Amino acid sequence: MEKPQQWTVWYFLVAFSLLLVVQDWWAARSATEPLPYSEFMRLLKEEKLSDLRIEQQQITGKLKEPINNRTQFSTVRVEPELAEALTESQVTFSGTREGGLLSNLLGWLLPFLMIFALWSLLFRRLMDKQGLGGMVSVGKSKAKVFVQRDTGVTFDDVAGIDEAKAELQEVVSFLKDQPKYSRLGARIPKGILLVGPPGTGKTLVAKAVAGEASVPFFSISGSEFVEMFVGVGAARVRDLFEQARKSAPCIIFIDELDALGKMRGVGAFGGNDEKEQTLNQLLAELDGFDPREGVVLLAATNRPEILDPALLRAGRFDRQIVIDRPDRRGRVAILKVHVKRIQATADLDLDRIAGITTGFSGADLANLVNEAAILATRRGADRVSMDDFTSAVERIVVGSERHGRLLQPHEREVVAHHEMGHALAASSLAGMDPVHKVSIIPRSVGALGYTLQRPTEDRFLITLQELKNRMVVLLAGRAAEDLVFGEISTGAADDLAKVTDIARQIVTRFGMSEVGQAVLERQSSSYLGEQAISLREKDYSEQTAREVDLCIKALIDDAYGRAKALLQGRRADLEQGAQLLLEKETLTPEEFPALRPLAATP
């Protein structure tokens, strides 16, 4: 949408300067040719002048007898004493005008303009840094308007979220053919909230709705409504909805709604702050516009737990659509979309790639395809192969290799036995993800080695025994060090942190211990952050807390004992595998069959 041209003080100054230049040029063009002052003195003595007009800087008049077809003259005055002295010396002389109107005006106007321009530039930059924005358009919406040719996204470009697409198809039908859709009295929801972790495609699917319906797409971030001045955000909300009504049917998309719709009364000392007024205006607009106008409001957030309840009630954001991380079938569909953009080999197994990328979001998979293409280009290949995708997964999960970090011989032996302990335990226990690769090459994430396990299928339930087995696998690295070298190192610090988290969740969240089945700590509902359990004050007694600590310690000690006993039974495989790792630095189950899953043991 084109913005109307606005006149500012700068346009006025440019026009005024041009006017001065034209006036000075015209004055110089229309002026008569000046007469030398010495010639004026001679003609004055000879009485050949008439109608003299004496001014401060010049003298004008008429010639009684034309000279060179001139009947009028003008000359610049010279001081009388100097003129008499120059006349006696019989030298031709004339005066010079000190300056025209333009030069006089620019003499005092130009410094002022330079100071004003410098002040304006510095003040604008300061306002932008402080979040004040442009003073002229302070109440205007900053929404970017996209039409179909600009978004370039349809439902064909969105994969892995079939349920969300099916619900949003109703919005497309309403925007395309409103009378047909509302023939039974149904109305489209006023607001649709897209909820999900980062990178799952919330913004992409909103653009796809606009692309499918071929309607204007107003896109704005929630933070762009909030400024330093109180009332500016509310004005921008009004302006945005006013623009949308003029362009109906259309879609308004507010990204990061939590920046605008945060719960009121949390951390605020008054009711007149800018964010609260902006939220109130948004609530009023949601109540005030008729969905039959053809304006559909979409919003996205990954922090639904902090949104104001008034924003989520029926009649405002009527519907919430969860866009979660895709399952295996969804990952295959997403990979098909992104693989079309690269030159891949014909035998590329997308199902296998989807199997080793559990937990990846749509953005993660797009990044994976790009990383694989980069790796193939780096090695000079004509097409992207399965090996490139495997290396890209490792790069994303555990970081890039650091061959320049040289370990001492004893440290390499400790790392080799540590990682082989993890791998052998994983291949020996039931319900564990199969070992994909074992390496003692340091990685950029700080690991001196790693054991890469990738699940072959998505799982949504896990038993107590499987949780205990995971603890055994994590502690098998330290158990291998203790078994072979008779001492332990700091290399198991990350493993111990993960084991402690699992044990604490078994006791306080899952109710799988002797403490009882009460939930002592609840899981956070946030999609952001790594904190699995919310931090809050304990609402149970010190005696219960002691029982929790003792139970956690017992679970960890039992897992460590099981890991040590398991590796003692496979001591020969542990030594052989560690030696192979020291020689090759990287092992796969194909190179070392002992890493393949054995007959499952509980």
Structure tokens at 240: 């945005």
Element spanning 67, H or E: strand 58-67
Tokens linked to 345: 């080999």
Catalytic one of 224, 285, 413, 419: 419
| Helix (H/G/I), strand (E/B), else coil: 438 | strand
Question: Phi and psi at residue 384, in whole multiples of 5°?
Answer: -85, 125
Rounded Cα gap, residues 441 and 452, in angstroms:
12
3-class secondary structure, 165: helix
DSSP H or E run through 53? strand 49-54
Cα gap 41→579, rounded to integer Å: 117
Amino acid residing at 92: T
> How close are the terminal C-alpha atoms of the chain, in Å?
66
**What is the Cα–Cα distance from 399 to 402, expressed in whole angstroms?**
9
| Cβ-Cβ contacts under 8 Å for 197 (sequence gap 6 or more) | 302, 324, 325, 361, 527, 528
DSSP string covering 208-275? HHHHHHT--EEEEEGGGG--SSTTHHHHHHHHHHHHHHHT-SEEEEEESGGGTSBPTTSS-S-S--HH
Long-range contacts (CB closer than 8 Å, 24 or more residues apart) made by 66-73:
70/32, 70/33, 72/32, 73/32, 73/35, 73/40, 73/49
The pair of structure tokens assigned to 441 is: 């090459």
Instruction: Name the CA radius of gyration of the chain, rounded.
Output: 40
Token pair of 419 as six digits: 């990682």
Q: Is 419 a catalytic residue?
A: yes
Q: How far is CA 202 from the centre of its chain?
A: 13
Tokens of 102: 């333009």
Which long-range contacts does 119-122 make (Cβ < 8 Å, 24+ apart)?
Answer: none
Angle of CA points 522, 527, 530, to nearest 5°: 70
Q: How far is 265 from 309, CA to CA, in rounded Å?
A: 12
Give catalytic residue positions: 419
